[in-house]
Structure formats: structure tokens, C-alpha cells
Amino acid sequence: MKDAKPVLISLAVKYSLSISQFLSSKTEQNKYSSFSEGIHYLFLVGSLLYATQTYLDIQFSVNLIAQFSRNPSIFYLEVTKCILYYLKGTQDFSLVLEHHGRGAIDIVG
């Protein structure tokens, strides 16, 4: 993940998640095990759920992937990694509120 390329959106429109993408055979489960390299999907989703407390912009994406955590496939793991790439790309973003004493607040980003 250290060398991963950051992305600008947390969940691309091209991803359409459904139950039909669950692992259905032993061969697919073996492929998933070798692809995941020991990453536990539920641990990853749980960490992202915790991150939604401070990164409000990923709440929808994380909620969506959490709904499919019963039987994750390579596709779900790739989608989850995209959210991590998004967080990497936005780690230097901040929201600064400036108050000028006139009742107006400027947002500086």
C-alpha cells in the first residue's frame, strides 16, 4: 500500500456490487486466499468503519462494502483497496474555517 497510486474518488461508478459476486466454489476461495495475501476483509472493513468518524466522505462507500462482508471475493477486496487509495490521496487535505468577526465564515481548503 505504501507504493499505491492515490485516486480522487472513493468508489468508482464502474463498480456494481451484488450478491452474485460472492465466492461460490473452492477454486474461487483458493484464488481469493492467494490474492488477499493474509488480509482479513472484515478487519479491513472494520478499520474503514472506524475511519468514517473523521473521514465523512467515505461513509457511503464503506457502508456499501460492509453490506457484502459475509462472503467477500477478489472484486470486493479490490473495491476496498480503492477506498484505501482514496484515503492515501486525500491525507494532506484539510478544512480550515476562518472567522472574520462579521458573522461570516470562510472555508479555506
26-82 per-position pLDDT tens digit: 776 677 677 677 778 888 889 999 999 888 888 988 988 888 777 777 788 888 888
CA atoms within 13 A on the CB side of 50: 6
Does residue 53 fall inside a structural domain?
yes
Does residue 76 fall inside a structural domain?
yes
Looking at residue 72, what DSSP letter applies?
-
Confidence class of residue 85 from pLDDT cuts 50, 70 and 90?
confident
Indicate the SS3 state at residue 108.
strand
Give the per-residue pLDDT at 24.
Answer: 64
Q: 8-11 contacts: CB < 8 A, separation 24 or more? A: 8/86, 8/89, 9/86, 10/57, 10/58, 10/61, 10/82, 10/83, 10/86, 10/87, 11/60, 11/61, 11/64, 11/79, 11/82, 11/83
Domain range spanning residue 98?
A: 19-108
pTM of the model: 0.67
Does residue 14 fall inside a structural domain?
no
Does residue 80 fall inside a structural domain?
yes
Does residue 39 fall inside a structural domain?
yes
Does residue 96 fall inside a structural domain?
yes
Does residue 55 fall inside a structural domain?
yes
Domain count, the chain: 1
Confidence class of residue 23 from pLDDT cuts 50, 70 and 90?
low
- Per-residue pLDDT of 4-15, as tens digits, reads 677 666 665 556
Mean pLDDT calculated for residue range 84-99? 77
Largest CA distance in the chain: 66
Confidence class of residue 17 from pLDDT cuts 50, 70 and 90?
low
Comparing C-alpha atoms, which of 67, 33, 63 is closest to residue 48? 63
Does residue 8 fall inside a structural domain?
no
